[in-house]
Amino acid sequence: MSDHRPIDIDNQQPGKESGREAGKRIVQAGTDPLELIEQCLASFPEDDPRQKLLYKLRHAVMLALASNQQREAELKKISEAVTKLTAPANRIGLLLDLPEEGLARILVGGAEYYANIDPRVSVADLKIGMQILVNEAYAVIKTLGYDRNGPILKLAEAMADGRLRFEQEMGRQSLILPRSAELVGVDLKAGDEIRIDPTYHIAIEKLSDRKAGRHVLDETPTVTWEQIGGQREAITAIRKAIEYPLLHANIFKQFTFSQPKGFLLYGPPGCGKTLIGQAAAGSLSKLMSQLQHDERKEADGRPPVTGGAFLHVKGPEILNMWLGESERMVRELFAQARARRKEGALPFIFIDEAESILGTRRAMRSFNISSTLVPMFCTEMDGIESLQDVVIILASNRPDLIDPAVLRPGRIDRKIKVARPDRAAAAEILRIYLTDTLPLDPGMVAAQGGDKAKALASLVERVADAMFRRTNENRLLAIRLRSGQSTVLYRSDFVSGAILSSIVQRAKEKAIDRVIQSGAQAGLLAEDLIESVTEEFRQGEMLPPDDAAEEWLKLLDHHPEQVVGISSFRRGRPSEERLVNHII
């Protein structure tokens, strides 16, 4: 039996190495305890009972090593966390300039410093206006990108050396700021909205103009002349004005004819002025695109037309309570049109309700926006050569309120009246809204021998007769003139394209409701349209209030100075004359 007595490693025989010294030597030599145990196992025979003890020892050592490694990892994490928590905070600054390699001019806490740049920071990542991270020594150690917040100012002037001048509110000084790296080389103009850094040291970003952008339709209007009914004279007049100078350029050149650049469409509301303006834009853009390779256009030095840009502006949208803001919007509108022309698009400026911003100027002591807005508009128009640059179309219900300086030849060269439709024109408009795909009453189609086109034509004629008959049912107003004569106004005197569209919509609603309620076969009846005519004129308030009679009469092509009284013929209301002479 083997002797398993413990060995005292401290009491060895003289001249021999003690066990403790051997252990120190092993540790100093960097020997792994597991390797020693493996060597012992290898030196003992397979049947040696001491191997069991060595296996147990090896397992205990492995557990101890694993436990030590886990404790060291946790201790390292705790040490790193304590180091981070106890370390001083890094400051955030603003990069103002890079005067030389390895050196930066920075702004930290309202004070400027010349700071070193950490060599590990890439010079390509350092851009003027960016936020940076600096350490205790104020050295730049990291870039944080551009601050996405900050005040917004309107640009007053882009200076020749690249700096930007900003005008602030009354009582505050103007600012001159350098550009950030993002604004270097960007074309800026007065009125642009620029975001600057919160410390008011650098202009960071140009913002898009939301008001100007919403007026622009990137695609040219698709309205065609065939989609407009009842305005043959107006359409013919405007087509001659805008298309003939392009189709017959040589003839116009022989007569040294100056091409028009501005048009005024005037007439009662709802008669198609906006549609005509859109159709003119689409027609002229298409025509100039077809002629873009013409030698005459290449000689002009203008970029070829590749499309159109329709800038639709409603007059009241330009009005602004702040002094000078409306004038700025007019400048931006024309600047945007010229920019589109440089890009190759033919811009159309269509201003609806033009009398609201281009009204007649009056001499008065109080401020009148027309006194400054009209001269600004005229100045911008004078900078346009012809319709090959920018086409201006004004639309108004009251052309008598527009300032004469705007309407003079050389600015608005053509005045085209969009009148109320007569019977033939009304039938043409109805035919546009009553399409061939519309389901009709089977009995109506059968009465025309199964021909749906004839049934539609008959339906249109019946509706037109119902509106244009000079009967007592169709009477609406009686106007008494200063001469003593009386004039009766009928429904036909109030017809417009908008009213005809509303009549068709009402009839469709009646047909849809009948199909839903009764389950009958879908089909539009003539009675639906006839009843819709009566409802449309009965529900419409045709008799104006006393204080609006003069303006209302001008929309009917009646001179108010000749009218002294108005009376109504509407059912359910006694015919009572309203005197208007006290208004005139």
Let me know whether 203 and 252 are in one domain: no
Report pLDDT digits (tens) over 523-533.
888 888 888 88
Tell me the pairing of strands 103-108 and 91-100: antiparallel
As a whole number, mean pLDDT of residues 486-512 equals 87
In a shared domain, residues 177 and 59: no
Q: Choose among 584, 418, 558: nearest CA to 477.
A: 558
| DSSP single-letter state for residue 566 | E
Of the candidates 364, 387, 417, which is a domain's last residue?
A: 417
Buried/exposed 287-298: b ≥16 CB within 10 Å, e otherwise: ebbeeeeeeebe
**Residue located via tokens 């061939």:** 436
What pairs with residue 113 in β-bridges? 106
Residues 29 and 175 in one domain: no
User: What domain count does the chain have?
Assistant: 5
Q: What is the pLDDT of residue 298?
A: 46
Q: Does one domain contain both 520 and 372?
A: no
E strands along 526-582, which residues? Answer: 563-568, 578-579
My answer on whether 442 and 455 are in the same domain is yes
Dihedral sign computed on CA atoms, order 253, 256, 257, 262? positive
CA atoms within 13 A on the CB side of 38: 6
Residue 550 has a pLDDT of 57
pLDDT tier at 509, thresholds 50, 70, 90: very high
Q: Is 494 a residue whose pLDDT tops 80?
A: yes
pLDDT of residue 582: 38
| pTM tops 0.85, yes or no | no
Q: 299 and 167 share a domain?
A: no
Can you tell me the distance from the alpha carbon of 143 to that of 443, in angstroms, rounded to the nearest whole number? 80
321 or 125, greater pLDDT: 125
Answer yes or no: is 10 within a domain.
no
Cβ(547)–Cβ(580) below 8 Å = no
Do 526 and 553 have their domain in common?
yes
| 308, 439: one domain | no
Nearby residues of 465 by Cβ (< 8 Å), 6 or more positions away: none
Banded pLDDT at 220 (limits 50, 70, 90): low
- Mode of pairing for the β-strands spanning 203-207 and 578-579: unpaired
pLDDT in tens, 424-476: 999 999 998 888 888 888 888 888 788 888 888 888 898 898 889 888 888 87
The domain of 49 spans: 20-86
Lowest mean pLDDT among 149-158, 162-171, 412-421, 550-559: 550-559
Using the predicted structure, report yes or no on whether residue 355 has a pLDDT greater than 70.
yes
SS (H, E, C) 407-426: HCCCCCCEEEECCCCCHHHH
Instruction: Give me 68's structure tokens.
Output: 């030590």
DSSP 230: S
The model's confidence at residue 346, banded by pLDDT at 50, 70 and 90, is confident
Specify whether 297 is located in the same domain as 393. Answer: yes
Same domain membership, residue 558 and residue 465: yes
Is there a single domain that holds both residue 561 and residue 428? yes
Q: Assign 577 a pLDDT band (cuts: 50, 70, 90).
A: very low
Do 268 and 369 sit in the same domain of this protein?
A: yes
The Cα–Cα gap between 130 and 141 comes to 13
Average pLDDT, the chain: 78
Instruction: Encode pLDDT of 5-62 as tens digits.
Output: 444 444 444 444 444 554 455 445 456 788 888 888 888 888 888 888 888 888 888 8
